[in-house]
């Protein structure tokens, strides 16, 4: 597959930024500066970055809770994201949403849904609106292997295929729904195997290969915007950390973790780019430095930002009730 | 002459069902972003026109904006939220309000919260119309739930009792940028009333005095407002003057109108078809108690369904639901208090 060098380097930068950001969030959480929990996306950057780069800025995204690569790659400013996670007034949602419900209209990110499965129907609706309004835009919808067992999965897969909606369903199958292994939760081996029940393409892809994810989602996007309907793409990947910041991670065998660490998506992509002569140690250092600088700035911004006044909780419950 | 006729407005007599259909038609013609989704709602040669025939006759240029959906209430409501966030103004028809249990998740955790959680970045202009109330259709096709939605910040709740209000409130609900739960009591679909020929809107959050009175305030919702008006007419012959107040919307709730009325009558009863415990009557009674305590000459009495389940057996089903006799009895209780 031929991808241009610029795009490949961009995706590498995105992955490095996402991991740097994720690690910083872990540190801030450990210091007690992030209210609630955090859901690390470390190890899954190729899936999130590859899919987000395969769609346009105008396309909508329904994001999932895991990690921050989706938000950042779709175009959310790292300062506004980190401030949001810290519950600050300057956050993209004014500190109301945090990990649990963050969204960003400026990058057409419809947000995270804290009750798993809600994102399916929101994506169906957004895709329906794009189709009816003839906008040429599509919806990229992320969900995990755990959420794939939710009843809404069936309703939404069926409706999206029935109405040939412009949506691409991307499942990051990291093998575990919190501690529950996918093979303990699903009667079929692959989420993508279910696609045939909805008369839509189902594809299993190496979720730690950013170029493979990019290519697969790009093709699915073309299909979606051409009016040919949705696709179900399952990216096999692994989360290096626990489910949340509080997870003791006792349920996974060490050999399994070690095997997946050897398939680290960033390390793999570095060697691909190195072999192609696109990336050398100097550039690796530069990109890492730029990511660190970006996250440093975000941290400084977030830490120095004010918290919203508590009484702001009474604002924005309703839109101004002007008649439209 | 009707009150609209007195205002110099040409009127027609139409049913509650027709009033809702007119509102849908007018809003679809006015705004091409308005889309109706539901089960068996399409009309035409292969259509059904809605389980209660509300969308019957919505054919023509805009009929492609009626979408018959599979049976998937959760996704219909959740998808409506997603579509509302991204450019459409969906109206969902839930065949029975009972099915809203399946759709509570996206209604409560997506539609009602999205504007707030995103700091106002996204709006969710959608309406969920749901047919409620007991008409002899079994335990899960007969219920009335109002307070569940009143309990959710971010939702608006409309519950009209007349064709005039049904049309005017639905048009306003469709134009409102917030999610609105619009409850239609099945017993009202055939009720006729005067509706102006020309366009009008009824604002959310404004109660209406159905009949003025001096001795007791009866706050009554939906079909219960009709029963209360009948009771009031009967009691008038016995020299009692009952003021019947229809809240019309439960969120926002026009508390001022209720408090004003109670300051005049000093006695209040509150009537709804929902189960009495923790129903809308509980909230309204408590709010009147807080707002007009010093004016009250008797405890506020709540009238609602008995805290039971609506059985198949007609006698049992009817016994659960409040009727005119219960309303009259409650009025008598507050009169007799002292």
ipTM of the complex in this document: 0.96
The one catalytic residue in B141, B273, B283, B326 is: B141
Looking at the domain assignment, is residue A321 inside a domain?
Answer: no
What is the distance, to the nearest Å, from the Cα of residue B122 to the centroid of all Cα atoms in its chain? 26
Looking at the domain assignment, is residue B65 inside a domain?
Answer: yes
Looking at the domain assignment, is residue A144 inside a domain?
Answer: yes
Please give the Cα distance from B103 to B81 (Å, whole number). Answer: 11
Active site residue B18: no
What token pair was written down for A161? 């295929």
By Cβ distance, the residue of B70, B83, B116 closest to A128 is B83
Report chain A's mean pLDDT, rounded to a whole number. Answer: 95
C-beta separation of B66 from B91 below 8 A: no
Residue A324 has pLDDT above 50, yes or no: no
Looking at the domain assignment, is residue A234 inside a domain?
Answer: yes
Task: Give whole-number Cα distances, B142 to A146, B132, B303, in Å.
Answer: 35, 6, 18
What token pair was written down for B265? 């009558």
Supply the CATH number for residue B179's domain.
3.40.50.970
Q: What torsion do the CA atoms of A48, A51, A54, A57 make, to the nearest 10 degrees? A: -60
| Confidence band of A323 (pLDDT split at 50, 70, 90) | very low
What token pair was written down for B98? 């009972």
Question: Which residues from chain B sit within 8 angstroms of residue A122, using beta carbons?
Answer: 78-79, 81-82, 85, 106, 110
Q: Do B212 and B192 share a domain, yes or no?
A: no
Q: What residues make up the domain containing B96?
A: 3-196
Q: Do B11 and B65 share a domain, yes or no?
A: yes
**Chosen domain end from B149, B168, B196:** B196
Q: Do B100 and B234 share a domain, yes or no?
A: no
What token pair was written down for B202? 């009824």
Collect all residues with Cβ–Cβ distance below 8 Å to B212 and sequence separation of at least 6: B243
Looking at the domain assignment, is residue A14 inside a domain?
Answer: yes
The pTM score is: 0.96
Looking at the domain assignment, is residue B202 inside a domain?
Answer: no
Supply the CATH number for residue A100's domain.
3.40.50.970
What token pair was written down for A60? 């909508």
How many structural domains comprise chain B?
2
The rounded percent of chain A whose pLDDT value lies above 70 is 98
How many structural domains comprise chain A?
1
Q: Do B173 and B274 share a domain, yes or no?
A: no
Residue A322 has pLDDT above 80, yes or no: no
Q: Which of A5, A117, A133, A10 is nearest to A72 (CA)?
A: A10
Question: What one-character DSSP code corresponds to residue B295?
Answer: G
Q: Is the dihedral of CA A6, A7, A12, A17 positive or negative?
A: positive
Looking at the domain assignment, is residue A324 inside a domain?
Answer: no
Q: Do B155 and B89 share a domain, yes or no?
A: yes
Looking at the domain assignment, is residue B203 inside a domain?
Answer: no
Looking at the domain assignment, is residue B201 inside a domain?
Answer: no
Q: Do B139 and B227 share a domain, yes or no?
A: no
Residue A263 has pLDDT above 80, yes or no: yes
Look at A129 and B120 and tell me if their CB atoms are within 8 Å.
no
pLDDT of residue A249: 80
What is the H or E stretch that residue A30 is in?
helix A5-30
What is the H or E stretch that residue B260 is in?
helix B255-265
Torsion angles phi and psi, residue A98, rounded to 5: 55, -145
Looking at the domain assignment, is residue B166 inside a domain?
Answer: yes
Please give the Cα distance from A177 to A188 (Å, whole number). Answer: 15
Look at A159 and B79 and tell me if their CB atoms are within 8 Å.
yes
The rounded percent of chain A whose pLDDT value lies above 90 is 94
The one catalytic residue in B27, B39, B73, B326 is: B73
Collect all residues with Cβ–Cβ distance below 8 Å to B167 and sequence separation of at least 6: B19, B20, B22, B23, B195, B200, B202
Estimate the crossing angle of helix A45-53 against helix A5-30, to 10 degrees.
130
C-beta separation of A162 from B67 below 8 A: no
Residue B338, SS3 per DSSP: coil
Residue in B with minimal Cα distance to A308: B119
Q: Do B139 and B24 share a domain, yes or no?
A: yes
Estimate the crossing angle of helix A78-85 against helix A281-304, to 10 degrees.
50
Which residues of chain B form beta strands (DSSP E)? 11-15, 34-38, 66-68, 89-94, 127-132, 156-158, 180-185, 192-196, 208-211, 216-220, 242-246, 249-251, 268-275, 301-305
Question: Which residues from chain A sit within 8 angstroms of residue B72, using beta carbons?
Answer: 155, 158-159
Q: Do B92 and B226 share a domain, yes or no?
A: no
Q: Do B108 and B191 share a domain, yes or no?
A: yes
> What value does the CA radius of gyration of chain B take, rounded to a whole number of Å?
20
Looking at the domain assignment, is residue A317 inside a domain?
Answer: no
CB pairs under 8 A between A and B: 156
Q: Do B320 and B174 share a domain, yes or no?
A: no
Question: Which residues from chain B sit within 8 angstroms of residue A111, using beta carbons?
Answer: 114, 117-118, 122
Q: What residues make up the domain containing A184?
A: 5-312
pLDDT of residue A320: 85
Supply the CATH number for residue B321's domain.
3.40.50.920
Q: How far is B51 from chain A (nearest CA, A)?
A: 21
Q: Which of A48, A68, A272, A61 is nearest to A171 (CA)?
A: A48
Please give the Cα distance from A239 to A261 (Å, whole number). Answer: 9
Residue A120, SS3 per DSSP: helix
Residue A279, SS3 per DSSP: coil
* Weakly modelled stretches of chain B, pLDDT under 50: 1
By Cβ distance, the residue of A101, A115, A321 closest to B105 is A115
Collect all residues with Cβ–Cβ distance below 8 Å to A299 and sequence separation of at least 6: A24, A28, A82
Task: Give whole-number Cα distances, A49 to A38, A231, A234, in Å.
Answer: 19, 18, 14
Residue with tokens 């999610």: B179
Active site residue B105: no
Residue with tokens 């997946």: A260
Q: Do B18 and B138 share a domain, yes or no?
A: yes
pLDDT of residue B2: 58
Q: What is the mean pLDDT of residues A208-231?
A: 98
Q: Do B292 and B330 share a domain, yes or no?
A: yes
Please give the Cα distance from B242 to B265 (Å, whole number). Answer: 9
Collect all residues with Cβ–Cβ distance below 8 Å to B304 and sequence separation of at least 6: B271, B272, B273, B274, B275, B276, B277, B279, B281, B322
Q: Which tens digit of pLDDT belongs to each residue from A97-110?
A: 999 999 999 999 99
Q: Which of A57-71, A246-260, B14-28, B159-173 has the lowest mean pLDDT?
A: A246-260
Question: Which residues from chain B sit within 8 angstroms of residue A317, using beta carbons?
Answer: 115-116, 153-154
């Amino acid at each position: 597959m031929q991808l241009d060098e610029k795009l490949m380097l961009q995706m590498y930068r995105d992955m490095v930024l996402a991991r740097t950001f994720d690690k910083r969030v872990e540190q801030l959480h450990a210091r007690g500066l992030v209210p609630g929990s955090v859901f690390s996306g470390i190890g899954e950057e190729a899936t999130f970055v590859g899919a987000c780069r395969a769609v346009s800025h105008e396309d909508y995204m329904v994001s999932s809770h895991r990690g921050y690569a989706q938000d950042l790659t779709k175009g959310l400013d790292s300062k506004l994201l980190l401030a949001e996670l810290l519950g600050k007034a300057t956050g993209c949602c004014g500190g109301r949403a945090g990990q649990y419900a963050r969204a960003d209209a400026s990058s057409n990110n419809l947000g995270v849904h804290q009750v798993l499965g809600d994102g399916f129907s929101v994506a169906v609706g957004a895709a329906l609106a794009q189709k009816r309004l003839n906008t040429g835009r599509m919806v990229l919808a992320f969900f995990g292997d755990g959420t794939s067992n939710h009843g809404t999965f069936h309703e939404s897969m069926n409706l999206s295929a029935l109405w040939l909606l412009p949506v691409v369903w991307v499942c990051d199958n990291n093998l575990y729904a919190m501690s529950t292994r996918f093979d303990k939760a699903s009667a079929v081996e692959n989420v993508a195997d279910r696609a045939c029940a909805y008369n839509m393409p189902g594809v299993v892809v190496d979720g730690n290969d950013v170029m493979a994810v990019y290519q697969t989602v790009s093709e699915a996007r073309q299909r979606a915007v051409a009016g040919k309907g949705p696709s179900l793409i399952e990216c096999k990947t692994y989360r290096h950390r626990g489910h949340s910041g509080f997870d003791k991670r006792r349920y996974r065998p060490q050999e399994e973790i070690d095997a997946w660490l050897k398939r680290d998506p960033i390390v793999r992509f570095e060697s691909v780019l190195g072999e192609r002569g696109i990336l050398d140690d100097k550039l690796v250092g530069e990109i890492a430095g730029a990511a660190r600088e970006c996250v440093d700035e975000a941290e400084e911004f977030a830490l120095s930002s004010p918290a919203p006044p508590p009484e702001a909780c009474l604002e924005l419950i309703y839109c101004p009730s002007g008649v439209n | 002459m009707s009150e609209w006729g007195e205002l110099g407005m040409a009127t027609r007599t139409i049913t509650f069902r027709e009033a809702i259909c007119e509102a849908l038609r007018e809003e679809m013609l006015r705004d091409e972003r308005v889309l109706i989704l539901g089960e068996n709602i399409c009309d035409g040669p292969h259509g059904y026109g809605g389980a209660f025939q509300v969308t019957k006759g919505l054919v023509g240029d805009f009929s492609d904006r009626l979408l018959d959906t599979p049976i998937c209430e959760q996704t219909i409501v959740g998808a409506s939220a997603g579509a509302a966030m991204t450019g459409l103004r969906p109206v969902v028809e839930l065949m029975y309000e009972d099915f809203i249990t399946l759709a509570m998740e996206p209604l409560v955790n997506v539609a009602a919260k999205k504007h707030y959680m995103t700091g106002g970045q996204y709006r969710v202009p959608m309406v969920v119309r749901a047919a409620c109330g007991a008409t002899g259709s079994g335990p899960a096709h007969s219920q009335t739930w109002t307070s569940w939605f009143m309990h959710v910040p971010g939702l608006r709740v409309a519950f009209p009792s007349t064709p005039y209000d049904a049309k005017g409130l639905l048009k306003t609900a469709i134009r409102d940028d917030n999610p609105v739960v619009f409850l239609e009591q099945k017993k009202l679909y055939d009720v006729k009333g005067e509706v102006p020929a020309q366009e009008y809107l009824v604002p959310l959050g404004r109660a209406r005095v159905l009949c003025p009175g001096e001795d007791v305030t009866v706050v009554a919702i939906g079909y219960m407002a009709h029963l209360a008006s009948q009771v009031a007419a009967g009691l008038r012959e016995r020299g009692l003057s009952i003021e019947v107040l229809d809240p019309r919307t439960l969120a926002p709730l026009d508390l001022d109108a209720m408090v004003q009325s109670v300051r005049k009558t000093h006695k209040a009863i509150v009537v709804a078809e929902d189960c009495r415990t923790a129903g809308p009557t509980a909230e309204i009674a408590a709010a009147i108690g807080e707002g007009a305590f010093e004016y009250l000459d008797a405890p506020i009495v709540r009238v609602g369904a008995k805290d039971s389940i609506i059985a198949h057996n007609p006698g049992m089903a009817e016994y659960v639901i409040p009727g005119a006799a219960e309303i009259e009895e409650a009025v008598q209780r507050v009169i007799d208090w002292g």
